[in-house]
């Protein structure tokens, strides 16, 4: 399972504090929005793609874009019609908040 930089529960190593805080804040906003709109039938997804070699991820990242994005897309596709908010990694595994 991907750790997810927005996951407070999975933050066992520290580092990247400001980045982590922005991702946790985004998660909190989504939780609030989902709570305000209980009964909404839309699928809401927060996703942890893994550490990917992009401009942001840098050349030292673990995964190529092609290793992560197709799995992310498949995971999004599988959540079609699943009402409510989930925090998932690229394999569709739940990431602890």
Return residues touching ligand NAP (CB under 6 A): 49, 51-52, 54-57, 61
Shortest distance (Å) from residue 43 CB to ligand NAP: 19
What number of H helices and E strands is found in the chain?
Answer: 2, 2
Q: Considering beta carbons, is residue 12 or 56 the nearer one to ligand NAP?
A: 56
Shortest distance (Å) from residue 82 CB to ligand NAP: 22
Q: Considering beta carbons, is residue 30 or 61 the nearer one to ligand NAP?
A: 61
Q: Considering beta carbons, is residue 49 or 87 the nearer one to ligand NAP?
A: 49
**What DSSP assignment string belongs to 1-42?**
----TT-STT--S---HHHHHHHHHHHHHHHHHHHHTTT--S
The pair of structure tokens assigned to 93 is 């595994």
């Amino acid at each position: 399972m991907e750790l997810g930089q927005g996951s407070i529960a999975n933050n066992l190593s520290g580092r990247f504090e400001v980045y982590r805080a922005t991702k946790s804040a985004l998660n909190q906003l989504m939780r609030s929005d989902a709570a305000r709109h209980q009964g909404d039938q839309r699928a809401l997804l927060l996703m942890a793609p893994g550490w990917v070699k992009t401009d942001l991820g840098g050349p030292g990242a673990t995964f190529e874009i092609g290793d992560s994005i197709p799995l992310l897309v498949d995971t999004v596709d599988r959540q079609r019609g699943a009402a409510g908010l989930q925090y998932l990694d690229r394999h569709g595994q739940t990431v602890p908040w």
